[in-house]
A and B are shown apart, each in its own frame.
Chain A
Amino acid sequence: MDYKITAAGGILAKKKDEKTFSLEHFLIPVHELLSDEQKKEVLLKFNITEEQLPKIKKNDPGLKLFNIKAKQGDVIRIKRKDPTGSYDYYRTVI
């Protein structure tokens, strides 16, 4: 399946017969790829190296859903919405 992000932030998945449908699922939080500057900022904020962050696989379907083409060493920001509140979580691509 191919996926596309709509302007509203929802995700569109393309079926084989080219019909699109939205895939906004309650389990999937928003993933964002950080630029190099943002990445440095984050690592400085926590005073850690990128190896100390939790990991995410390069071929993770979550990245594919948001059309992120990540390479090894990139940092992904995940906007989590937990029962305890909303916050950002970070993962390094491996």
Chain B
Amino acid sequence: MRGKKGKFIVPGDPVGTIAAQSLGEPGTQMNMRSFHYAGTAEAVPTGLPRVIEVVDARRTPKKPMMDIHVKERYAKDEKKVRKIANNLEHVTLHKIAGMMEDFDKKVILIRVNPSELKRLGLDMRLIRAKIVEFLGNKAKVEQRENKVRIKFSKKEKIINIRKTMNKLKLLHIKGIPRIEKAMIIKEGEKYFIRTGGSNLAEVIKLPEIEVGTVWTNDIMEVNKVFGIEAARNAIVKELKIIMDSQGLPIDIRWLLLLSDAMCKSGTIQAVGRHGLSGHKAGILARAAFEETMKHLVNASIKAEEDKLSGVTENVIIGQIVPIGTGIVKLKFASGRGTQKAKK
């Protein structure tokens, strides 16, 4: 690496160790339990808990969320943005309706909340159609104003009614699955949408939104939809945001190095015994970290060989570690040397 004063990093510098220290020390200063309440009623973890989440490569974050910017021509129109946000929100039947089952009469009663209907701009006919489509010919559906009555045959088993009820509760009415909330936030003159819950694959298909700037904090989902390189960029961005929010100045190169290491195998590996440290090349390096016996026994069963090329291995056996000047090796050019000596 070259800077104004020459080379900052020279061959043999233990950059991994320096990166770990540079990230670990600010980590001690971070808030143990901090959240931000950006427009949502939910608390999204930031600070140390969030760093751990990212670095451990959790399957889903504790509170997934997305920032969605709408196309330039809609951005200043609050009503339009609100309408787009409403269309995002995942609405299931039990969210807009009271539901009751009557086992004696073999009937499920659904009373849809009229104010919710109005807010979401829904029509009872649509809801009726959805229910009919879901039930098929299992039961008869009667609808009067905002009430729906589902009549089963007298011989229907009670357990089947309960099962149908549970499935009906989660009947998809509108919106994108897994997006629980969508609210709009004003930024300068423009509005953007922030959602609780995340579903990148579906959101990028929407025509009204600016696809290029959609952001989600679910890194695994980025990996699934955009690929490993995008996931690596997402890790860098996420860690940088956290560090900045905590007021900890950290050189971005350490974050780049960490995320490159996490993504080098083609999938996102956690930093720890199930990820990076557990997949090191050297047996002794793995054994020195955690689960010593497991690694030693497995290596001996497979007759693995340790080339003693890493730092940890050489510390263990008491040789010079291959860092800095220790990385230089002397090679003896026998032929030429002896000839010169003869002369």
Contact = CB atoms under 8 A, between A and B. Distances in A.
State the main secondary structure of chain B at its contact with A.
helix
A23 B227 CA distance: 13
B211 A65 contact: no
Contact of B227 (A61, A83, A89): A61
A57 B212 contact: no
B214 interface: yes
A48 B215 CA distance: 36
Given A22-B211, A82-B256, A27 B226 contact: yes
Interface of A: 1, 13, 15, 19, 21-29, 31, 54-57, 60-65, 78, 80, 82-84, 89, 91, 94
Given A21-B207, A54-B260, A60 B212 contact: no
Contacts of A26: 212-213
Contacts of A80: 229
Contact of A65 (B227, B233, B265): B227
Interface string B200-237: 00001101000111100000001011111110011011
Nearest to B266: A55
B232 to A, nearest CB: 9
B323 interface: no
A61 B211 contact: no
Nearest to A29: B229
A65 B226 contact: yes
B267 interface: yes
A86 B178 CA distance: 36
| Size class of the B contact interface (CB-based, 8 Å) | 20 to 34
Interface centre among A13, A62, A84, A91 (most CB of B within 10 A): A62
B255 to A, nearest CB: 10
Contact of A54 (B207, B213, B253, B264): B264
B321 interface: no
10 tightest Cβ-Cβ pairs between the two chains A and B: A62-B227, A55-B266, A27-B230, A54-B264, A61-B227, A57-B266, A27-B233, A60-B227, A28-B230, A24-B212
B189 to A, nearest CB: 22
27 contacts: A1-B205, A13-B204, A13-B205, A15-B205, A21-B207, A23-B211, A25-B204, A25-B211, A28-B226, A28-B227, A29-B230, A31-B227, A55-B264, A55-B265, A55-B266, A56-B227, A56-B228, A56-B229, A60-B228, A61-B226, A62-B229, A62-B230, A78-B229, A80-B229, A82-B256, A84-B253, A89-B229
